[in-house]
Amino acid sequence: MIRPSTVAELEAAPAFPDLLAEYAAESSIKGLPAPSAKMETYRHLERSGFLHVLAAWVGDTLTGFITVLAAPLPHYGRTVAVSESFFVAQQHRGTGAGLKLLRAAEELAAKLGSPGLLVSAPFEGDLFKVLPRVGYVETNRVFFKAVGQ
């Protein structure tokens, strides 16, 4: 089941630490520090109305989540929704959970007044391969260069 959630609800889910570890292993960027989610920052953004959480559950077990940041972008002069984190546990892929999370995030983006939803994906990863098949168009590529410690 896909439903709106909260940061606190994710944190309270017994599966959340394992999901974060699996997400970090799959999505880490070489040259950046190891992921270390600052949950207070997520809670602050949620309280401010900029962060929205959707979660996938099988019974009482958290199997995936997508966090959507929606804030006014000065360049476009309006609110634009961006998926900040999007992950479904490997063992739950192929169940439709990821696509349902994505569709729920699209509906949320529209409700928030965004003209669309920006989603990033690790190059050549599962999500990278799925997005074009479900209507997403590659618009940019992100490049990274380490510049310090």
Mean pLDDT of 122-131: 90
Collect all residues with Cβ–Cβ distance below 8 Å to 4 and sequence separation of at least 6. 52, 53, 54, 55
Cα separation values, 41 from 50, 110, 115, Å = 11, 24, 26
Segments making up each domain of the chain, as ranges: 2-134
3-state secondary structure of 38: coil
pTM attached to this predicted model: 0.91
Q: Which CATH class is domain 2-134?
A: alpha beta
Q: What is the per-residue pLDDT across 4-16, written as a single tens digit (0 to 9) for each?
A: 999 999 999 999 9
Confidence band (pLDDT; 50, 70, 90) for 149?
low
Q: What is the per-residue pLDDT across 63-72, written as a single tens digit (0 to 9) for each?
A: 999 999 999 9
Please give the Cα distance from 142 to 119 (Å, whole number): 12
Please give the Cα distance from 48 to 90 (Å, whole number): 32
